[in-house]
Amino acid sequence: MSKFLELVEQHEAYRKRSINLQASENIMSPDALKCLGTDMASRYSLYEPTIDSDAYGGTRYSEDVLHETEKLSREVFGTKYTEVRPLGGHIAAQMVLLSIVKKKENILSISESDGGYTGYQSGFMPEMFCFQNYRIPYNKEEQEIDLEKLQKVMKSTKPKLIMLGQSFFLKPYNLKMVREIADENDSHVAYDASHVLGLVGGKAFQEDIAKYSDIFFGSTHKTFFGPQGGLIFTNNEDIYIKIEKNVTWRTMDNYHISRVASIGTALEEMKAFGKDYAHAVVENSQKLGKSLHERGFPVLYDPWFSFSHQIHIGKKEKNNPQEFLQMSKRLEENGIIIDREGRIGTAEITRMGLYDMEILADLIVKAFEGEKVRKDVESIALNLRMRYWKGYV
Ligand SMILES: *Cc1c(COP(=O)(O)O)cnc(C)c1O
């Protein structure tokens, strides 16, 4: 057998026996997964919307895949325009920035120390595209933008764009107010919903996102349960035209037809089951936060804990960078997977139908305290059945 097929099989057997609480991950339905392993995975299609033509032949079904996915994504997210081809949330972010911000202009984004995305910090995308990034004033205790200070920063930095969204993301914004402040200062509002895209699609987080942002986008594999990729949404025709210009030969060449088919499948599932799914995800993270807190586990933001799929762990020792790594490793020895940055996510367990957060909290705390709970974790994991797709009845 191929070395790689062997590794893939080992990985699958390993993950099947684990409970995955990684906030950036999710699990695809068998239907969405099947799309990835078909003939489409090695085909080309270079569809040019402006001239309604394709540079390649044999694309009659690939183009249907693209257009049906676009149609469905407009329907599910309620915008006039969408772009479904980006290879990831990061590439979608590049398309958005290239379409709105020019060289030497300023943007504002949430700083990394407040949970913002690393890609927007100086040294990464700002350096690549020659613009400046400044910090959005943020109240960490409340996990809210400091709107009063934001007004002042707008005056001093005159940003072309306010980039909202976080990688450590617990609470929706007062988006109406941010919009007003942006309008007063001739600035655009973009919203990186990478982590929360599935919650947005299911109307359980930032329901006013299409109303008050100029453009929003995100990854298709975090709370949105599709394959790895990115989606962009806007109601603004001028911005959309620029986005289209920044896709082919700027941020990518061909798009991945099989992946887009898989996103289309996930959109079908989101349309049918997204509301139930997304609300259950948020309910699970609130319950898990409370249950862990009651057991003395250091969860942040008592008493509300979360309005998203994430809960955040507090550090015991401020200056120990190893703490989250050690915690993650200890849990992983027991079949419980979390990241090494202090986040716990409930998207995947919810999709797998795990709703008893008391039992899960018990296992996490026991593993954390050094007890061996691997057998219990395995027996729970192996008995879960995926929900929120048409194969679940
Ligand atoms: C994960 C993340 C990204 C990058 O997404 P990819 O799909 O991995 O490219 C961008 N922005 C935010 C806020 C993220 O959390």
How do residues 140-173 score in pLDDT, each as one tens digit? Answer: 999 999 999 999 999 999 999 999 999 999 999 9
Which CATH architecture describes the domain 30-267?
Answer: 3-Layer(aba) Sandwich (3.40)
Q: Mean pLDDT across the chain, nearest whole number? A: 97
Dist. CA 195 → ligand 1 center (Å): 7
Per-residue model confidence (pLDDT) at position 172: 98
Q: Which of 266, 260, 237 is nearest to 388 (CA)?
A: 266
Please give the average per-residue pLDDT across 33-38, as a whole number. 98
> For the chain, what percent of residues have pLDDT higher than 90?
95
Dist. CA 216 → ligand 1 center (Å): 13
Please give the average per-residue pLDDT across 93-105, as a whole number. 98
Dist. CA 375 → ligand 1 center (Å): 34
Query: What is the bridge-based pairing of β-strands 161-164 and 106-109?
Result: parallel
Per-residue model confidence (pLDDT) at position 53: 87
Dist. CA 200 → ligand 1 center (Å): 15
Answer whether 87 contacts ligand 1 (Cβ < 6 A).
no
Q: Which of 31, 101, 90 is nearest to 265 (CA)?
A: 31
Per-residue model confidence (pLDDT) at position 129: 96
Per-residue model confidence (pLDDT) at position 318: 78
* Residue 208 pLDDT class (50, 70, 90 cuts): very high
How do residues 300-333 score in pLDDT, each as one tens digit? Answer: 999 999 999 999 999 888 778 799 999 999 999 9
The total of other beta-carbon atoms located within 10 Å of residue 41's CB is 14
Please give the average per-residue pLDDT across 287-309, as a whole number. 97
3 state DSSP class of 39 = helix
Please give the average per-residue pLDDT across 268-273, as a whole number. 98
Domain ranges of the chain: 30-267, 273-392
52 or 101: which leads in pLDDT: 101
Answer whether 298 contacts ligand 1 (Cβ < 6 A).
no
* Residue 196 pLDDT class (50, 70, 90 cuts): very high
Check for a shared fold between 30-267 and 273-392.
Answer: no
Please give the average per-residue pLDDT across 162-189, as a whole number. 98
pLDDT at 393 over 90: no
Please give the average per-residue pLDDT across 348-353, as a whole number. 98
Per-residue model confidence (pLDDT) at position 316: 81
* Residue 109 pLDDT class (50, 70, 90 cuts): very high
How do residues 362-384 score in pLDDT, each as one tens digit? Answer: 999 999 999 999 999 999 999 99
The total of other beta-carbon atoms located within 10 Å of residue 303's CB is 8
Q: Which of 14, 11, 22, 35 is nearest to 227 (CA)?
A: 35
Question: Pocket of ligand 1, candidates 166, 173, 194, 223: which has the most ligand atoms within 8 Å of its Cβ, to mutate?
Answer: 194
pLDDT at 50 over 80: no
Contacts of 385 (CB under 8 A, 6+ apart): 352, 353, 392
Looking at domain 273-392, its CATH class is: alpha beta
Answer whether 88 contacts ligand 1 (Cβ < 6 A).
yes
pTM: predicted TM-score of the whole model, two decimal places: 0.98
Per-residue model confidence (pLDDT) at position 52: 83
Per-residue model confidence (pLDDT) at position 262: 98
Give the residue whose CA is nearest to atom 15 of ligand 1: 167
List the end-to-end C-alpha distance of the chain, in Å, as a whole number.
36
Answer whether 195 contacts ligand 1 (Cβ < 6 A).
yes
Dist. CA 1 → ligand 1 center (Å): 35
Answer whether 167 contacts ligand 1 (Cβ < 6 A).
yes
Contact call for residues 40 and 62 (beta carbons, < 8 A): yes
